[in-house]
Structure 1
Amino acid sequence: MSVPSKPICIALVDDYDVVLIGLAHMFDRYRDRIVVAEIDANQALNDEIDIVMYDSFAQPESDEKEIAALLKNPRASKVVVYTWNFQPELIESARKQGVHGYLSKALPARELVVALERIHDGDIVFTEAPRRAKSAMGLDWPGRREGITDRESEILALITQGKSNEEVAKLTYLSPNTLKSHIRSIYRKIGATSRTQAVLWGVEHGFTPDKHRIDHWMGGP
């Protein structure tokens, strides 16, 4: 792997600012190697980007469409999916679309940086499914400070978006019983006794998608 003559310029794409800001901060110690140019929430890319990282949090329905749009964007040299969902059909779909990487959220920051450098050098990097469900240290998500896990957060975000249990189970590849167990845990943590209360809590605590972008993150171009 060659050492880049200048830092690799990346853009982060997701519908939730808190998720993206947590990811951006993971690169703070590696700014000589990785520069976050912009954080994107449903907007087109403005800067010339070496790698786009598409975070799949709470938007599995739109993955194929959004990834396809990013791959066609002339400003995005390479596109990487950043996820904890390693269902075989999702991985195969990403391969067929031509993404340049499929990276696990369980990767420590140093390994994530190395993977991005390999991709920048021309490698196609698909990491193995994580042995554990936990995300890498430093990431953030809605409800984390209330004790909600990353997986529970995605479920509550989908519920807040108006998805039924059947739809959530399909989108998250969970069995109905496993999903119900997660929902009971969520309700307990937020003090909800009904779906309506859970949705209202979600709306008030950042579980609805954001609709703006953050340009030039931390001195990026």
Structure 2
Amino acid sequence: MRILIVEDDPLMQLGLEQALSEYPDFEIVGQAEDGYGGIQKALDLKPDLIVMDIGLPRLDGIAATKQIKEQLPDIHIVMLTSHTLQTEVVAALSSGADAYCIKGASLERLLAAIEAAKDGATYLDPQIARLVLDNLKPPTPEPNQNLALLSERELEVLKLIVEGKSNNEIAEDLYLSTNTIKTHVRGIMNKLAVDDRVQAAVVALRSGLV
């Protein structure tokens, strides 16, 4: 996976490059320090994935993400930021970001965000997942008959998805392999007729499951 880092903090930029370069499947193909630079590097290098900050000089990461996605919709974008306001999270996802990860979180969570984005899913950091999903929860439950199709194990997995946990974290909680959890997640999405984990969580919240 060819990765572009868009980050204005030199120490954070260096740390990301060193951490991700440890993985043989990742190649850091470029770096940019502001939104306009990120757009230009994306157009020039056409990376598979961009790790993008929000608080960038000249042009913020949300606006840069929107412009990149309009021109290069196949590039996956992972927001890595200290911004946790609900409006910023929603704006980032609406602009086309595939994942939202909080700075200071474990490297495992960033890797989970990258993996989810690569697979075409949406990842929300557990720190802000509940914030966003609660905003989508209506005052009265809306029953969803498809939930009855889920097995007891799939319901357990779905509840942990709502908590914003990654596949690895769910596997640890339920003492199962990550591959088994991935199978359950696919089964949940198929039975609920949704495209990603966030939509599955929204169905659970709207139905009053959690």
| TM-score normalised according to structure 1 size | 0.49
Partner of 1:71, secondary structure, is helix
Note the 1:63-82 alignment, pairs <5 A: 63-74=61-72, 77-82=75-80
Q: Which moved more, 1:55-64 or 1:17-26?
A: 55-64
Unaligned 5+ residue runs, structure 2? 129-210
Q: Structure 1: state its 5+ residue gaps.
A: 1-7, 131-221
**Deviation (angstroms), 1:16:** 3.7
Q: Which deviates the most, 85-94 or 16-25?
A: 16-25
In structure 2, what is the Cα distance between the partners aligned to 1:111 and 1:77?
20
Structure 2 counterparts to residues 142-157 of structure 1, below 5 A: none
Aligned-partner residue type, residue 19 of structure 1? M
Cα drift, residue 58 of structure 1? 5.4
Query: Could you say what secondary structure the match of 2:4 adopts?
Result: strand
Letter in 2 for 1:20: Q
Q: Go from structure 1 to structure 2 and tell me whether the alpha carbon gap of 1:86 and 1:61 turns closer, same or farther (over 3 Å shift).
A: farther
Q: CA deviation at 1:76?
A: 6.0
Once residues 65 and 33 of structure 1 are traced to their aligned partners in structure 2, the CA distance between those partners, rounded to angstroms, is 29
1:20 equivalenced with 2:13 (yes/no): yes
Distance 1:112 1:14 in 2: 15
Which aligned pairs between 1:36-75 and structure 2 lie closer than 5 A?
Answer: 36-42=28-34, 43=37, 44-45=40-41, 46-57=44-55, 59=57, 62-74=60-72
| Structure 1 stretches of at least 4 aligned residues deviating more than 6 Å after TM superposition | none
- Asked whether the 8 Å contact 1:80–1:100 carries over to 2, the reply is yes
Is the Cα contact below 8 Å between 2:101 and 2:109 reproduced in 1? no
The superposition leaves residues 157-209 of structure 1 with CA deviations (integer Å, 9 ceiling, x where unpaired) of: xxxxxxxxxxxxxxxxxxxxxxxxxxxxxxxxxxxxxxxxxxxxxxxxxxxxx
**Structure 1 vs Structure 2: percent identity of aligned residues?**
16
* AA in 2 matched with 1:27: L
1:104 aligns with 2:102: yes
Greater fraction helix: 2
State the AA in 1 paired with 2:76.
K
The question of whether the paired residues in 2 share the 8 Å contact of 1:48 and 1:76 is answered with no
Aligned length: 122
Aligned residue in 2 for 1:11: 4
Higher RCO (CA 8 Å, separation ≥ 6 residues): 1
Paired residues of 2:20 and 2:26 also in contact (CA < 8 A): yes
> After the TM superposition, which of the residue ranges 68-77 and 56-65 deviates more from structure 2?
56-65
CA distance in 2, matches of 1:35, 1:29: 9
Shift, 1:60, TM fit? 9.6
Give the corresponding residue for 1:123.
121
Q: What is the one-letter code of the residue matched to 1:123?
A: A
Rounded to whole Å, the distance in 1 between the matches of 2:63 and 2:84 is 18
TM-score, normalising length: structure 2? 0.51
Asked whether 1:85 is paired with 2:78, we answer no
